[in-house]
Amino acid sequence: MAFPEKGRARADILRELHERKANDIDWRGGRAPVFVFKAEDEVDRMGREAFVEYFAENALGATSAFPSVRGLEQEVIAMALDLFHAPPGAAGFMSTGGSESILLAVQTCRKFERDRRGQPRHHGNIVASETLHPAFDKAASLMDLEIRRVPVRADLRADVAALEAAIDTDTILLVGSAPNFPYGMIDPIAELSEIALRHRVWLHVDACVGGYLAPFARRLGRPVPEFDFSLPGVRSISADLHKYGFCPKPASTVLYRSAADAAFQPFDFSGWPSGRFITGTVVGTRPAGGVAAAWAVLQHLGAEGYLRIAEQLLGGIDRYRRELGAIPGLFVVGEPDLAIVAYGSHDLDAFAIATQMAQRGWQPGLLRRPRAVHRMMSMLHIDSMAPYLDDLRWAVSELRARPPAPAQPIEARY
């Protein structure tokens, strides 16, 4: 497309934008397996209106031009630290998402370790279960670190003994997920906490997915294991507001047990003709809308609202799992703790089921080991459960009646 010589009318452009969405997935109808999270219409409205209130402001200027943005951000962090049972003196930052929070935690830990060891060029390793999110590999490739992915046990749970055995003197970071993305299962963070203390290794909990749901599931009496700062070995946590915090994108939190650890995070530079450049995030300019909207949604819902949503969502997922179990030949992968659920089949190829479902407009999320159909569920998926299950029953009976030609290639991709 050539750079336009002349401008176009606003209405014309808005119409085109709207029309361009015609071939996108109908996420409102629950047809996307991930990407968009929804609680209630009212929560969406709150987030949207707060975002627009701060549409133009730049969170880069939070410590200079926009003290209100700084205040909102500090309050979001304070609320998060409280939720995750942080001790006095804990600290944290907002970021633009899980990947950025993870990059920040890894580089903070690396800086701390380089300082502690007196080795400014130390390249350490990160030990974690193989289910670790690839954002850590991204961080490791940017920072030239080694990642040691330890296979899970046959029951798909993290192998704690093998994780401990993978730690050596160059290990700078042990990571547990709460929950992991592939199976939706929470790693045994209490045991990892003990290992971390014993080996004096920094333990980070990737609660990007579960952070803002697990505390409420626990309060509802669900058997969700401890994962936060109440475990003494947990030194940092990443938790995304734009997932199960139901806040508009971009919004995440990265939190540290102590302000001394957190002090390693900001980038502070003076070696240029302009003024001192100090940022807490990887990015510079950052939408203040994401900060204001997160503050607004947390205040709007409060624990009461999050409990209500957790009850509806997890109750809906219980029903979904029961219905899946009632379809002959299907099984739920592992024992998901929260809202990620994958299902496979004892006798059919799960990717063939996914292909059938795609024909009916349900974009598949896929798991390769075991082959399964994977969904990160929010109220969008609960509200559309009946047509989804109808189509799933159709897909399964269709495959049984007419086994497909050799599987068409289908890629598990995000």
Ligand X SMILES: Cc1ncc(COP(=O)(O)O)c(C=O)c1O
Interface residues with ligand X (CB under 6 A) are 97-99, 102, 133, 135, 177, 180-181, 206, 208-209, 240
CB of 238 to ligand X, least distance (A): 7
Handedness of CA 298, 302, 307, 313 (dihedral sign): negative
CA dihedral 73, 314, 33, 177 (to 10 degrees): 60
Closest by CA to 183, choosing from 372, 333, 350, 330, is: 333
The Cα 228–Cα 189 span in angstroms is 8
Residue 176 or 233 having the CB closest to ligand X: 176
Residue 55 or 414 having the CB closest to ligand X: 414
DSSP string of 34-88?
A: SS---S-HHHHHHHHHHHHHTSS-BGGGTTTT-HHHHHHHHHHHHHHHHHTTPPT
The Cα 78–Cα 86 span in angstroms is 9
CB of 402 to ligand X, least distance (A): 35
Residue 30 or 98 having the CB closest to ligand X: 98
CB of 205 to ligand X, least distance (A): 10
Residue 137 or 391 having the CB closest to ligand X: 137
Residue 233 or 365 having the CB closest to ligand X: 365
Asked whether the beta carbons of 233 and 193 are under 8 A apart, the reply is: yes
DSSP 3-state of 357: helix
Residue 72 or 139 having the CB closest to ligand X: 139
CB of 256 to ligand X, least distance (A): 17
CB of 98 to ligand X, least distance (A): 2
3-state helix, strand, coil in the chain (%, to 5): 45, 15, 40
DSSP 242: T
The Cα 341–Cα 332 span in angstroms is 7
Asked whether the beta carbons of 206 and 177 are under 8 A apart, the reply is: yes
DSSP 3-state of 370: coil
CB of 99 to ligand X, least distance (A): 3
Residue 102 or 372 having the CB closest to ligand X: 102
Residue 90 or 102 having the CB closest to ligand X: 102
Q: What is the CA radius of gyration of the chain?
A: 22
CB of 398 to ligand X, least distance (A): 31
Which H, E and C letters describe 191-208, residue by residue? Answer: HHHHHHHHHCCEEEEECC
CB of 82 to ligand X, least distance (A): 22
CB of 132 to ligand X, least distance (A): 8
Residue 30 or 345 having the CB closest to ligand X: 30
The Cα 278–Cα 317 span in angstroms is 44
The Cα 231–Cα 243 span in angstroms is 24
Residue 210 or 233 having the CB closest to ligand X: 210
CB of 96 to ligand X, least distance (A): 8
Strands of the 171-177 sheet, one edge to the other: 91-95, 252-256, 234-240, 202-206, 171-177, 125-129, 146-150
Q: Which residue is nearest to ligand X (CB)?
A: 98
